[in-house]
Structure 1
Amino acid sequence: MFDGGCPSEVTLLQRAVGELHVAFKRFGAETVLQDLRQVGCLKARFPRRVTPGWIDMVMLNTGGGVAGGDRLDVSVDVAPGCQATLSAQSADRFYRALVADAPSQVRTRLTVEADAALEWLPQETILFDRSALDRRLEIDLADNARFLGVETVVFGRTAMGERVQQGWLRDLVRLKRSGELLLHDAVRIDGPIDELLRRTAIGAGAVASATLIYAAPDAAARLDAVRAALGAADAATSVWNAMLVARILGADSASVRATVIAVLATLRDDRPLPRVWFC
């Protein structure tokens, strides 16, 4: 005799669902919070002004890590004239997915209106062995809006001796200005990831990769300073259509992080990074 149904039924594991919507507006000379909607595991906390005219906010996932089948949706609206920085409390961790699991799904939409600026500064995305992630970042800018963003992907924690032997990743970044598509950056990698990353044309042995985007009227003028900040790192950068894109590779996340911080200092005119980056 059995309680709770037939023993042959497939067990359906509980999956995390998170939704976060943040909107900013102008109030006098300052940027203030206009709207905040939080559902499930996604939260936003600690709105504060570190630099006059700017507002900083921290996102967090109360579920800790992300498992196969979890769904996270983030949207951010920055009204005309506002200046906002969004960071994350810690690195995102994507754990091993079960064979029957759908990939973890992450969807983010950022809208920046006229004369506004948004800095999207999450910390690293750490992929564990046999994780499965489907992620999409959509950025919509007004004609003279400014955007600075970084996304760093780490394939296993080298200090812990981890390697991502197998995995599945679909990672897409799309940026539009006034409805015109300027950037469509798609990464598709699956199967023996550790083996693939060793290939010269893919990763040349790198286990961490960062993509940094700066879209602003002065992007071209920043190119030389960014190249100087990259130094001897395994990295490259270029500018087109008032948008600067840099790609950084590294044999460990610490070296990539150090290079990212150096570039951010240049593009943020030495304003302090969010405190959570150093916790």
Structure 2
Amino acid sequence: MASLPPDPIAAPPVLQRARGRADVGFRLDDGATRLDRLFQEGQAKIRLPKVHGATPATAVLINTGGGIAGGDRIAWGARFGAGTRALVTSQAAERVYRSSTTDGELSGEIDSLLEIGDGARAEWLPQETILFDRAALSRRLDVTMAADASALMVEAIVLGRTAMGEEVETCRLVDRWRIRRGGRLVFADTFRVEGAARTILAGAATGAGARAFATVVFVDPQAETRLDEVRALLATGSSAGGASAFDGLLVIRLAHGEPARLKAELSRLLVLIRRAELPRVWSC
């Protein structure tokens, strides 16, 4: 007697994954920074709002998928041509949702690549990334810049929304930075939280209960001269952390138990460094 075929209902479901890639490029044209390239596909979109006065050319990143789940992949690229001045930010906070066990514990992935040409002034100012309980995220920022270029970059992580009473008991986060200036690796950093997040971050040396974190890196020939004013501002806030300067880099770490307080103090810090207000989307 012939055997019956396998029951199709018992087969594991094929889960849908979000994919997105978007690149924006800027060039200098008659002394003004203008759009040179725009590519977008899948869930990754870029919008270019009108700017006026001293505001630099601005690109706004949008993930139309509404967030990142296990197995999703988003790739961003920004190219700042020689002599340009431009800013890249995001429409809102990115959200990373639970990675289901049926996913094989896959991580969501966000990869960002910045290329900064001779004499360019680049700003990478995305809003915070919010992780929910059992989220899994692998994020990477790779920067290649000319020796005389300038770049202000920030990445922030929030573990749960305290206003909603959310707790992140466990998660998997790997956040990598790699910055190369003039062909030389000048900054390499990896922040990792894997497993029982609340227990890991409760230690005095591992966060002291912080739920929000931010890293700011300012690469500029004058970066080291800004250290004293940055430290003076940090001393007036309630965030844990500090600042150091070396080899044309200014590196700042912030950590706080209240995400709203961290964002407010991070905003003040960025305004100080860039000597201008933040993009309007930061206050929306």
RMSD between aligned residues: 1.2
Q: Distance in 1 between matches of 2:40 and 2:49?
A: 15
The equivalent residue for 2:4 is none
Shift of 1:49: 2.4
Asked if 2 retains the 8 angstrom alpha-carbon contact of 1:29 and 1:53, the reply is: no
- Corresponding residue to 2:57 among 48, 55, 58: 55
The equivalent residue for 1:181 is 185
Look at both structures and tell me which one has the larger radius of gyration over its CA atoms: 2
Asked if 2 retains the 8 angstrom alpha-carbon contact of 1:226 and 1:263, the reply is: yes
Shift of 1:99: 1.3
Shift of 1:27: 1.0
Question: Aligned residue pairs: how many?
Answer: 274
SS at match of 1:171: strand
SS at match of 1:204: coil
Q: 1:151 to 1:53 in 2, by over 3 A?
A: closer
The equivalent residue for 2:228 is 224
Q: Distance in 2 between matches of 1:100 and 1:115?
A: 49
Question: In the TM superposition, what whole-angstrom CA distance separates every residue of 1:192-227 from its partner, at most 9, and x where no partner exists?
Answer: 001111111111010000001100001011111111
Asked if 2 retains the 8 angstrom alpha-carbon contact of 1:229 and 1:259, the reply is: no
SS at match of 1:262: helix
Q: Distance in 2 between matches of 1:53 and 1:94?
A: 31
| Map 1:1-279 → 2, pairs under 5 A | 6-52=8-54, 54-101=56-103, 102-230=106-234, 231-232=236-237, 233-269=239-275, 271-279=276-284
Q: 1:252 to 1:53 in 2, by over 3 A?
A: closer
Asked if 2 retains the 8 angstrom alpha-carbon contact of 1:54 and 1:82, the reply is: no
Q: Distance in 2 between matches of 1:273 and 1:154?
A: 20
Asked if 2 retains the 8 angstrom alpha-carbon contact of 1:30 and 1:52, the reply is: no
Question: In the TM superposition, what whole-angstrom CA distance separates every residue of 1:39-94 from its partner, at most 9, and x where no partner exists?
Answer: 10111113322343720121111111111110001111100000001110000000
In terms of mean alpha carbon deviation, does 95-104 or 125-134 score higher? 95-104
Equivalent residue letter for 1:24: F
Q: Distance in 2 between matches of 1:176 and 1:278?
A: 32
Shift of 1:179: 1.5
TM-score, normalisation: structure 2: 0.94
Question: In the TM superposition, what whole-angstrom CA distance separates every residue of 1:136-195 from its partner, at most 9, and x where no partner exists?
Answer: 100111000000011110011111111110111111011110111111110122110011
- What 5-or-longer segments of structure 1 have no aligned partner? none
Identity, in percent, stands at: 39
SS at match of 1:48: coil
Q: Distance in 2 between matches of 1:262 and 1:53?
A: 18
Q: Distance in 2 between matches of 1:135 and 1:57?
A: 20
Q: Distance in 2 between matches of 1:126 and 1:53?
A: 28
Q: Distance in 2 between matches of 1:96 and 1:51?
A: 43
Asked if 2 retains the 8 angstrom alpha-carbon contact of 1:31 and 1:53, the reply is: no
Q: Distance in 1 between matches of 2:249 and 2:50?
A: 28
